[in-house]
Structure 1
Amino acid sequence: MSTTKFAVAGATGRLGRHVVDVLAERGHPAVPMSRATGVDVITGEGLADALTGVDVIIDVASWHSSEQDAATEFFRTSARNLHEYGQQAGVARIAVASIIGADRATAGFLAAKKVHEDVLLSGPLPVRILRAAQFHEFVGQLLDWQPGDVAYVPALPSQLVACRAVAEELVDLALGADAPGTPIPEIAGPRRETLAEAAALLGARRGVKVVGVDGSGIPDAELAADGAFLPGPHARLAGPTFQEWLDTQP
């Protein structure tokens, strides 16, 4: 079996760790790229060495907050650097994880991801995009942001997905044959529920009462309420439900 050498931007992050695991299980060498490994996709430090001999870049690097301007600048800079250094190294393509609904977003982190997609697609290397639903772990973040016995969580529809399922699909996309003209693929979990419903399941384990709210003040809350960020009819549904995933967590 032939192997493809990968570099994974954001390799130590929530999704990146799963991508590295999937590649290892399939016998593909992977260069982990993060500041923890001495590679910075923003300053370019270590990028040239890390990409030497690499065939495909998988980009799952992300910004640490939802502030739109800072996230946009991060994604714009990282995209340009991956193209520049990747082209110099002879990389064949970039595969990137994005978010379902990024193409419809008008504000917030999702709008920053839309810029990310656009800058990547305008670069010299071929780019493949996988849009994913919010990860199961996102629910824990919603509770972490509100320390105390009560948490107010938007009752907005979602179709939460496991990071592992996204990693597997992203690796498949990175390795697949070229399919010009096809729509950007999507992946989501098997069950539609609101963020508040999922948070209530986790809250019961933590001793936190979850109160569903309408999402006022959240970027594009009206769009989300109308289902704009739910998977389309051709999305791949994979992985455990939130409850099944939660049952496996310590």
Structure 2
Amino acid sequence: MKITVIGGTGLVGTKLVKALRATGHDVLVAARATGVNTYTGEGLAEALEGADVVVDVSNSSYTDEAAAKEFFYVSTINLLTYGEAAGVPHHVALSVVGTDRLARAEGGYFAAKLQQEQLITSSGRPYSLVHATQFFEFIHTITDNAVRDGAVRVADVLVRPLAADDVADALAQVAIGDPLFATAEYAGPEIFTLEELARIDLRSRKDDREAAPDPLGTYFGARLSSRDLLPDATATISRTTYENWRTQKPSGEAAVFE
């Protein structure tokens, strides 16, 4: 299959490209660095020509709602329009578990992601949406974002994070299959409180600060209920634990789901 990966030079994109090529697929890496810009349309027609699947794992560098919405709106419309013109029979996009809940609670970047999903699902084009929980690779960022006056005060919520390698493998499996016309959720095997994850992260960095749950704390500005970041019971669960990822940091290996 010929598969065009939008955002193919990013964290998940590079892993996805490697996974797809390892199984014999013809993969085109589409990113600004390779002359493809989904926002302006530059190089997009050529990138999608003859593609069997387009997988969008691109991201906005803007986190404020107006700018993120503009990026995702224009880029997604361009991908859908150019994809239809090229006859691409499957549009796959990566998003976040709980996007709708995060958008209602905070708006901002998550409102832009929700808009992206709505554009895809209402387009009439064959599609699959992949929802992933938080990446192990972003736990540092989550912890650092919770620092207030030198103390780590995290939202009192539950999370079920997974490795970016596992996300890439999930995307690869979805991409080579038939369009789902639905959303598939993927999550890690363990449920943590953000407090537990923050403590593990701080100790791994030899940071002696203590993490504590804050009932009034927010997750990147969103005030959430304790289970709002967890997937549904039908989610596909990976087998890579946080401890295994931390100690082994596997790269490019096929993820195993159960």
> TM (normalized to structure 1)?
0.88
**CA deviation after TM superposition for structure 1 residue 129, in Å:** 0.5
Distance (Å, rounded) in 1 between the aligned partners of 2:87 and 2:192: 44
Q: How does 1:170-209 map to 2 (within 5 A)?
A: 170-179=171-180, 184-208=183-207, 209=209
Residue 158 of structure 1 and its aligned partner are, at CA, apart by 0.5
Matched, 1:62 2:59: yes
Q: Whole-Å Cα distance in 2 between the matches of residues 158 and 217 of structure 1? A: 14
Q: Which one-letter code corresponds to 1:174 in the other structure?
A: A
The residue aligned with 1:161 is 162
Instruction: After TM superposition, give the deviation of residue 115 of structure 1 in Å.
Output: 0.8
> Does residue 27 of structure 1 match 2:24?
yes
Q: Distance in 2 between matches of 1:231 and 1:90?
A: 33
Deviates more, 1:137-146 or 1:82-91: 137-146
What amino acid is aligned across from residue 177 of structure 2 in structure 1? G
Question: Residue type matched to 1:101 in 2?
Answer: G
TM-score by length of 2: 0.86
Whether contact under 8 Å (2:57, 2:93) holds in the other structure is yes
Aligned in 2, Cα 1:154/1:99: closer, same or farther, shift over 3 Å? Answer: same
Cα pair distance change 1:230/1:217, threshold 3 Å = closer
Q: Is the 8 A contact 2:15 2:168 kept in 1?
A: yes
Query: Could you list the runs of 5+ residues in structure 2 that have no partner in the other structure?
Result: 251-258
> Would the aligned equivalents of 1:23 and 1:171 in 2 still touch at CA under 8 Å?
yes
Match of 1:222 in 2: 224
Query: Identity across aligned pairs (percent)?
Result: 33
- With over 3 angstroms needed to count, the CA separation of the structure-2 counterparts of 1:122 and 1:41, relative to structure 1, is same
Distance verdict in 2 for CA 1:22–1:39, change over 3 Å: same
Shift in Å, 1:211? 1.7
Q: For 1:41, which of 23, 33, 38 is the aligned residue?
A: 38
CA distance in 1, matches of 2:29, 2:210: 38
Q: Distance in 2 between matches of 1:179 and 1:129?
A: 8
- Alpha carbons of structure 1 residues 221 and 147: separation in structure 2 relative to 1, 3 Å: closer
Question: Once the 2 structures are TM-superposed, how far is the Cα of residue 177 of structure 1 from its aligned partner?
Answer: 2.8
Corresponding residue for 2:86?
A: 89
- State the aligned residue count: 243
Runs of at least 4 residues of structure 1 off by over 6 A?
none
Q: 2: CA distance between counterparts of 1:102 and 1:196?
A: 22
Query: Deviations along 1:37-87, whole A, 9 cap, x unmatched?
Result: 111111111111111221110000011343222222211111101011111
